[in-house]
Every structure is written in structure tokens, then in C-alpha cells.
Amino acid sequence: MDDDKNASRVHWHVATGLASYGADASNGWQTATTMTDLADLVRSELENQAERHIGLARLHADSGDYKAAWGMRKFADRLDILWHSFNNERAAAPLYAGDPEKWDATVRRLVEKHFPMDVDGGKRRVHVWECRWPDRCDTFDEYLSEVDPE
């Protein structure tokens, strides 16, 4: 397959899994074919994780473990701020107006900077990766060897 055909089929995946095992493919991986789609998928995953951590903070507080509750709440707030960074409405801001490539570059930079991301105190990890193997994108091991060599 030549590079032009391959480049047109490049896409991204978003998935969460146990930190030591990689992304969970049992329900399939979310797939994006544009940077705008990718921003939506990442934003949604981060929003879900933020809500999950707020729930965990409440559970810790209810059990009297206020230190753990505060840690979970602070992490949820960090996730909340980050998911707003992936909001595609930002693409209409004066900084990006009329320059969709600039928004695409911002999304790519945010993904490269923040993922993979540990959640649940490092027990789980959110993965976002560019699939360079479009004919066999069920291959997570090749991605994992690049971002998490052990």
C-alpha cells in the first residue's frame, strides 16, 4: 500500500483500560477520522472520567476518607479543565477563525502532551493513539510498544 493511500486512511482511537494491560478492546475502540471528531471523542472520555472521579470523591467523603476525597476532587477538576480544552467550539475563537489547520494542530498537540493518561490513581489509563495500521487496527501492541515501552 503506498503512503498516499495509507495517509488517507489514518485514524485515531480512544480507549480506556487497565494500566498494565493496555486499552480494552472488548467493546471496540472509539474511532475518529478527523481531528474535530478526535477532539469530540477525547472531550467525551475526559468528561466521563471527571464525572466518575467526582463520584469516587463522594464515596471517599461518605466513608470519612477526606484526604482521598480531596485528591479525587482535585483530579476531577483537572480533567474538567482539560476536557474543555478539547471543546470544538474553541475552533471558532479569533485565534483559530479561518484557520482549521491551526485547530487541528492544537488538538494533536494536546493529545501528544496528555496521553496516555493515568486515571483511578494509576490503576487505569486513557489511551489516545493514531492508528498507523489501518488494515489491522486491532493491533494495540505496536502502539503500546511506542508509548509505554517496558
pLDDT in tens, 62-86: 999 999 999 999 999 999 999 999 9
Q: List the grid coordinates of 65.
A: 476518607
Task: Say which residue the cell 482535585 belongs to.
Answer: 74
Backbone angles phi, psi at 28, to 5 degrees: 80, 165
When divided into structural domains, the chain yields a total of 1
Global pTM value: 0.80
Query: Is the omega angle on the peptide bond into residue 116 within 30 degrees of 0, that is, cis?
Result: yes
Tens-digit pLDDT profile for residues 111-146: 999 999 999 888 889 989 888 766 666 555 555 555
In sequence order, what are the beta bridge partners of 11?
131
Write out the three cell numbers for 134.
489501518
Kindly state the DSSP code that residue 118 receives in the 8-state scheme.
E
Q: Which domain holds residue 108?
A: 3-147
